[in-house]
A and B are shown apart, each in its own frame.
Chain A
Amino acid sequence: MLRLAHAATIVAVTAGLVAAAPSTASADEWGRTICPDGSQRPGCDVSTGTTGQTGSSTNRTGGRDGDRKCRKPGGDVIPCRRGNAWAGGDGCYYSPADLSADTVAALGGQPAGEGGWYNRTCYAGSAGGELGLGGPVWIAGAAPVLSPEVLARQARAKLLLPGVVIELSPSGDQLVRLPTWLSVAASSWHERSATAAVPGVSVTATARPVKATWVMGDGSAVVCEGPGTPWKPGADPAAASPDCGHRYLRSSARAPGAAYTVMVTVAWEVTWAGAGQSGTIAGLGTTGSVRVRVAESQALVTR
């Protein structure tokens, strides 16, 4: 009950600010020194910017409501996300700010206590392309705007996945009917992690390769649950790969350039953990390709 009353108070304050705001569709550089609410204070007034998670089902006047829609304090539905920024309860957008020490000093120094710097942007309308107004702001408290899920998406964006290096056996030209062993280099297939943090919350996203989809160029596709097994010298050349292989039945003589394009897409499952929570978010993919010629074995013999 207390919590609801608190949320209502914040909404009322927010509404007042917005009502007082001038039309700030865009501005020159001087205009951008003015706060979105029309005031001229450094750091502006962001006491209302922390309601992004107040989304109780009864709060339909700002922030995120029970339908998981984001609204301006006036009630207009706005996108919950703009780029990597998320809508706060004041209808402005917040993303974690990465500020230099000089910048922080100029902004008045690092405030004491828990909190974080955020880039705040407020838009007068809902039209795309509008510049908006805002700037870096300090929001006290433990990551008031960003949920672990949001941080997870940021960590996901920081993941650097390796390029796909294809290893075929036999290397080079393939022979019709002879098993082709499909594999990607070990460097293309191992876990990667990245972390995104704001004061009080740190989330690590981990990408794990789970599946390789091979498009062989001859109209067939092969799905492998692993990186495949590289053929080792000494093994039987007529044996098929134990886990990821293909057998060409037609030569590539009639394909464009007399070669097939073999393309592999590695699917990465992305999980995240942090702030005592964990989950899965949209996966990632990496691809690689190589051109291979497939010859009739008889033709090879005559060569």
Chain B
Amino acid sequence: MAVAVGAVFAVVGCDSDAPAATPSAPATGAPTTPSKRAGAETQAIAAYDGLWRAMAEAGEVPDPDAPELRRFAVGDALARVVGTLVFDRENGLVTRGAPVTAPSVVSATPADAPTEVNLVDCGDSTNWTTHKKSTGAQVSPDPRGRRHITAVVTSTDGAWKVSSFNVGEIGSC
């Protein structure tokens, strides 16, 4: 947040004709930079949330080739998610439910028109269970809980996708 405020001041400072602007209203009549940044952050968060939602949906099949995964992930992130779903498939597993995510922005670069946004989250897998596909029975043990997650979301040609992520142990946040 401090970074965002600083950016607004910098822009205002360059415009000598502008009246004193309040940092709390950067979108009103402001130059495009703050809204670009806000838009980038919004889209990055949407991609992050969308990836885990798509993984949960694909996990019910499980379908490593679900198009939604490709919509929200690329590169290492996509490879790991797809690989996990292949593992589930080969081991006769499905998932049910979905994780709860609520990421926040750590950084966005470059500041004036971000193409990379770093997110941090405390994801909760409590309602994301694992089952035997053949019987539907929940596996035992089926440990779940909160994990500290960091993710890098990048924009290529205007499309925001998670390009890498790192998940901590259960109970790490």
Tell me, yes or no, whether A119 is within 8 Å of chain B by CB. Answer: yes
Collect the chain B residues with CB atoms within 8 Å of residue A97's CB.
Answer: 86, 90
Cβ 8 A contact of A34, one of B56, B88, B142, B167: B167
Q: How far is the CA of A34 from the CA of B148 in the complex (A)?
A: 13
Bitwise interface map of B from 120 to 142 toward A, beta carbon under 8 Å scored 1, else 0: 00010100101000000001011
Q: How far is the CA of A108 from the CA of B80 in the complex (A)?
A: 10
Contacting residues of chain B (57-81) with chain A, CB-CB under 8 angstroms: 59, 64-65, 69-70, 76, 78-81
If the complex has contacts A33-B167, A106-B70, A131-B91, are A26 and B84 also in contact, measured as CB distance less than 8 A?
no
- Name which residue of chain A comes closest to B167, CB basis: A30
Cβ 8 A contact of B86, one of A40, A99, A132: A99
Q: How far is the CA of A107 from the CA of B167 in the complex (A)?
A: 19
* A107/B169 in contact, CB under 8 A: no
* A135/B83 in contact, CB under 8 A: yes
Q: How far is the CA of A99 from the CA of B99 in the complex (A)?
A: 27
Cβ 8 A contact of B79, one of A100, A107, A133: A107
* B95/A29 in contact, CB under 8 A: yes
* B65/A103 in contact, CB under 8 A: yes
Collect the chain B residues with CB atoms within 8 Å of residue A136's CB.
Answer: 83, 86-87
- Name which residue of chain A comes closest to B141, CB basis: A26
**Residue among A31, A34, A106 with the highest chain B CB neighbour number at 10 A:** A106
Classify chain B: how many residues form its interface, as a range: 35 or more
* A135/B139 in contact, CB under 8 A: no
A85 CB to closest chain B CB (Å) equals 9
If the complex has contacts A29-B128, A97-B90, A99-B86, are A43 and B144 also in contact, measured as CB distance less than 8 A?
no
Tell me, yes or no, whether B143 is within 8 Å of chain A by CB. Answer: yes
Tell me, yes or no, whether B153 is within 8 Å of chain A by CB. Answer: no
B144 CB to closest chain A CB (Å) equals 5
Tell me, yes or no, whether A163 is within 8 Å of chain B by CB. Answer: no
- Name which residue of chain B comes closest to A136, CB basis: B86
Tell me, yes or no, whether A6 is within 8 Å of chain B by CB. Answer: no
A74 CB to closest chain B CB (Å) equals 23
* A40/B80 in contact, CB under 8 A: yes
Q: How far is the CA of A16 from the CA of B166 in the complex (A)?
A: 22
Q: How far is the CA of A34 from the CA of B81 in the complex (A)?
A: 10
* A32/B86 in contact, CB under 8 A: no
* A29/B84 in contact, CB under 8 A: yes
Collect the chain A residues with CB atoms within 8 Å of residue B36's CB.
Answer: none
Q: How far is the CA of A42 from the CA of B82 in the complex (A)?
A: 10
- Name which residue of chain B comes closest to A102, CB basis: B65
Q: How far is the CA of A26 from the CA of B65 in the complex (A)?
A: 24
B154 CB to closest chain A CB (Å) equals 16
Collect the chain A residues with CB atoms within 8 Å of residue B165's CB.
Answer: 33, 40
Collect the chain A residues with CB atoms within 8 Å of residue B80's CB.
Answer: 33, 40, 42
Collect the chain B residues with CB atoms within 8 Å of residue A26's CB.
Answer: 139, 141-143
Cβ 8 A contact of B87, one of A22, A28, A32: A32
Tell me, yes or no, whether A188 is within 8 Å of chain B by CB. Answer: no
Collect the chain B residues with CB atoms within 8 Å of residue A119's CB.
Answer: 86-87, 90
Q: How far is the CA of A103 from the CA of B166 in the complex (A)?
A: 21
Tell me, yes or no, whether B8 is within 8 Å of chain A by CB. Answer: no
If the complex has contacts A29-B55, A29-B59, A106-B64, are A40 and B90 also in contact, measured as CB distance less than 8 A?
no
* B87/A135 in contact, CB under 8 A: yes
Given A29-B56, A43-B79, 19 extra CB contacts under 8 A: A25-B141, A26-B141, A26-B142, A28-B145, A29-B59, A29-B99, A29-B128, A30-B147, A40-B165, A40-B167, A42-B79, A100-B65, A103-B82, A106-B64, A119-B86, A119-B87, A131-B139, A135-B83, A136-B83
B binding-site residues for A, Cβ under 8 Å: 55-56, 59, 64-65, 69-70, 76, 78-84, 86-88, 90-91, 93, 95, 99, 123, 125, 128, 130, 139, 141-145, 147, 149, 165-167, 169-170
A binding-site residues for B, Cβ under 8 Å: 22, 25-34, 40-43, 95, 97, 99-100, 102-103, 106-108, 119, 121, 131-136
Listed from nearest, the 6 A-B pairs whose CB atoms lie closest are: A42-B79, A135-B83, A106-B82, A102-B65, A28-B125, A135-B87
Q: List 17 A-B contacts (CB under 8 A).
A: A28-B130, A29-B84, A29-B88, A30-B125, A31-B167, A32-B84, A32-B88, A33-B80, A42-B83, A100-B64, A102-B64, A106-B78, A106-B82, A107-B79, A107-B83, A119-B90, A131-B93
